[in-house]
Structure 1
Amino acid sequence: MNRLVLISGLMLFSLFFGAGNLIFPPMLGHQAGVDMWPAMAGFIVTGVLLPLLAVIVVAYFDEGVERMGRPVHPVFGMVFAVLVYLSIGALYGIPRAANVAYEVGTANLLPVHDASTLIGFSVVFFLIVFMVALNPAKIVDNIGKYLTPILLIAITLLSLFAVSRPETPLQPAQGGYGSAPVVSGILEGYFTMDLIGALAFSMVIISGLKYSGVTDRRGIVSHVLKAGMLSSVLLIVIYLALAYIGGTTARDGYENGTDILTYSSMRLFGSSGDLIFSAIVVVACLTTCIGLVNACSAFGARHYSRIPYKVYVFVFTAAGFLFTTLGLNTILSLAAPLLAFLYPVSIVLVMVSFLNIFIHFEMKHAYVLPVVTTIPISILEIIHTNGLLEMEAISTMYMTLPLSEVSLGWLLPFAAMTMIGLAVDWRRANLIDAREHQTVY
């Protein structure tokens, strides 16, 4: 493996491995118990393999997120891309990561937690983000060579000690993990929403490769595929270790994976456990924020080049700082409906675009039909889940869809519409070929 692939793979791992990725697996292992392994297999499908598909698709077409929606309509493609970058950028992804770094990383280290300490922490945090993101040519090196090894060393240290010194054997599974561990794991991976992040992180890797001299399409796809595979292997190993930590932690009313990891750190390392866990969380969130600021700034500079890249970095860093000061609960309440709308559409476009790599006739209906079916279902789900309209008919309509009880009401309609769209596109391509053949002869 050449040096560029290694550094790119380490960088991609650290971009993916944010706060959510750190705390989901321990809770899954804690609840799944003896059924942890099949549950983690399901988690890996949606939490690792689906984002990997997104990375491959973006690298193959090398036109950014907007290309995925363009076959539906050029305007839709641009609007979809803007919404993706806003959701993972200043409106949600950046301030959420910064808030988690503050809430978790300093919970037991600062004597006081109030608005002033949040602002002070955020000033230092975003100053580092700004300085690193300012030079896109060196982001791969800065993250892949320096920040990622720190992150990996801290996680590996915690994982090795915890796996070698389990507190208790794996316990009986709880809830849905006892009856359907694979399905429960798939849903847990689905709710990480890492695929939206993958759409942006892919362009960070591609830009880094281009700055390093890899410019031909085949070389970019090859390097990104290898880097994505390396990142995926690292994520799977770390996820399994974290799940095992959760599974072998004695049950005592933990509310989330953060509580489990905090307790495990203290159990294994005593008072220094706080420092180790805080370092893991802060570095994980820092690398994610750097990648998001870079991705959003590169997107803005690519489509409106009159404003320099460095100005975009300042704008997105400043916006991230301002939204961070609102607090985590406010950020989550504002962004939840947007993410609930975007995520199903993002999965649909990634899956159809991945099929497009292997299908050589023009695909139009295979994009349009699944998207125009998924969008209204996503809107119905948002209305039903958040109670936005007091209309029982809307909730009843949504709940008639298969899998709607697990927020996957769009899945079977998407599959059906994709097959119909492919059939229509295939027939259209054959008719065009037949007309051209008759013209020639």
Structure 2
Amino acid sequence: MNRLVLISGLMLFSLFFGAGNLIFPPMLGHLAGEKMWVAMTGFAITGVLLPFLTVIVVAYYDEGVERVGKPVHPLFGLVFAILIYMSIGAFYGIPRAANVAYEIGTRNLLPVHNSFTLIIFSIIFFIVVYTVALNPTKIVNNIGKLLTPLLLIGIALLSIYAIFRPEAPLQAPEGKYVGIPFISGVLEGYFTMDLVAALAFSIVIVNGFKYAGITNKTKIIFSVIKAGILSSVLLVTVYFSLAYIGGTTGRDSYQDGTDILTYNSLRIFGGFGDLLFSFIVVLACLTTCIGLVNACAEFACRHYNKVSYKMYVTAFTAVGFFFTTLGLETILSLAVPLLTFLYPLAIVLVLVSFINIFISFELKYAYILPVIVTLVISVLEIIYTNSLLNSELIAAVYLMIPLSGDGLGWLLPFMLLTLAGLVTDRLNKKENVQSQERTI
């Protein structure tokens, strides 16, 4: 059991640790400087703790993503789950990771970058994804025992050398990290959108324990929690290490974390640094794509099992390959509005579902009320941020909502209406009990 938990924890880490997770912390550390530790604590709350809570929720209810939306309405739960798998799967998450692997992983290795080289790279990349994802019973072993250790070794080589050979001491913070480093870190972790990924990935971990012959629900839940803790500890360790690399990199006009890590790879390892960094990026994206293909195929099989798992893997791999060839800018332009709409809703449903674990009475309005207000605010945000749809009236209404300027306009209404819903559900329970007693 302990061995399976270890392998599952390593796998969960690698599923979360895509290219976005690799490049966010270095830039945060570079800008936060001396306030890096405070900023990264905030980052860990939304970038690690929220995904960990999501893993617990999915394992506890053991009904997949659709369970978190089911209390609102069964049809809502199903539609929400489909949208999650569309956005984080073949239509966005998979092609985005594959594109990042190509753009960053081969940046300094290929002499030419064009549509032809993207297609060739994608063919090789997705053949590996397809081959590993084809056998769901061995995914935990293939990723947890083989790919994750290689990924960790690559990150460790870069991190250890960079930490012991820093270019400069931590310097004064810049920009938003001067006054509000903690809140700025919270927002950076929020924008990783790892909670949505956790909704898709968690079922892969749960199924891994089932494939190993564990049938007791309590054992599965506690095993998943242990694996989640291991994954979270690894994520926090790696994130803080990468942030420290960024913080101790001398001031320069770096565009993002990619530039910082590329520079440090070359500074420390010379020509070998290019190969090391490319290896880390490609492997991080590869493990993410394998997990996403598997999760999407498992979800589709659960709801329409007349098509085989193999056919679903083939379909999701093919769709992922097709969208990858469109290029990263096209993918982002199509998917960002959908994710803007879904992400706050996903957080709301996960947090209410987590609260529901500890509540003895049935929750109804505690789901419905915050979901409705979050949906409305998310639509307002999409209209506000879209230049084609924007209007002065909607902009004025949206900006009246507290924290809307930070993309967190849903937060305070969610807290208030969840509390109102909990009180309403509690009162309804009392009325039902009293009505039953009078009937008796």
* TM-score, with structure 2 as normaliser: 0.99
Shift of 1:176: 1.0
Q: Residue 46 of structure 1 aligns to which amino acid in structure 2?
A: T
1:316 aligns with 2:325: no
Q: Distance in 2 between matches of 1:241 and 1:98?
A: 25
State the partner residue of 1:84: 84
Matched, 1:282 2:282: yes
List structure 1 segments (4+ residues) > 6 angstroms apart after TM superposition. none
Which residue pairs with 1:423 in the alignment?
423
Q: Which amino acid counterpart does residue 287 of structure 1 have in structure 2?
A: T
Shift of residue 387 of structure 1? 2.2
8 A Cα contact 2:384 2:390, kept in partner: no
RMSD of equivalent CA atoms:
0.7
For residue 305 of structure 2, give the secondary structure of its aligned residue in structure 1.
Answer: coil
Alpha-carbon displacement from aligned partner over 1:56-91 (angstroms, at most 9, x marks no partner): 000000000001101101110000000000000111
Deviation, 1:439, is 2.8
Aligned to 2:195: 195
Deviation at 1:343, TM superposition (A): 0.1
Provide the secondary structure at the position in 2 that maps to 1:179: coil
| 1:51 counterpart = 2:61 | no
Change in CA separation of 1:197 and 1:423 when aligned onto 2, cut-off 3 Å = same
Alpha-carbon deviations, 1:109-132, whole Å to 9, x = none?
A: 111110000000000000000000
Give SS of 1:47's match: helix
> Where do 5+ consecutive residues of structure 1 fail to align?
none
In the alignment, residue 348 of structure 2 is paired with which amino acid? V
* 3-state DSSP of counterpart to 2:170: coil
> Which residue type is aligned with residue 144 of structure 1?
G
2-structure distance, mates of 1:388, 1:354: 38
Distance 1:426 1:248 in 2: 52
Q: Which residue of 1 is the match for residue 151 of structure 2?
A: 151
Counterpart for residue 66 of structure 1: 66
1:342-361 maps to which residues of 2 (within 5 A)?
342-361=342-361
Q: Which residue number corresponds to residue 75 of structure 1?
A: 75
Q: What stretches of structure 2 of length at least 5 have no aligned partner?
A: none
C-alpha separation in 2, matches of 1:39 and 1:284: 24
Alignment-derived partner of residue 258 in structure 1: 258
Structure 1 CA distance for aligned equivalents of residues 321 and 366 of structure 2: 40
2:163 counterpart residue number: 163
Q: Which residue of 2 aligns with 1:294?
A: 294
Aligned-partner Cα distance in 1 for 2:160–2:308: 45
Q: How does 1:31-430 map to 2 (within 5 A)?
A: 31-430=31-430
Q: Give secondary structure in 2 for the equivalent of 1:226.
A: helix
| Residue in 2 that maps onto 1:14 | 14
Q: What is the distance in 2 between the residues matched to 1:222 and 1:104?
A: 38
Letter of the aligned partner of 2:435 in structure 1? R
Task: State the 1:195 CA deviation.
Answer: 0.2
Higher mean C-alpha displacement, 199-208 vs 384-393: 384-393
Letter in 2 for 1:397: V
Q: Distance in 2 between matches of 1:219 and 1:311?
A: 32
- Structure 1 counterpart of 2:4, which letter? L
Matched pairs, number: 440
Identity, in percent, stands at: 66
How many angstroms does 1:215 deviate by? Answer: 1.7
Shift of residue 436, structure 1, vs aligned partner: 1.8
- Name the CA distance, whole Å, in 2 between partners of 1:144 and 1:197: 18
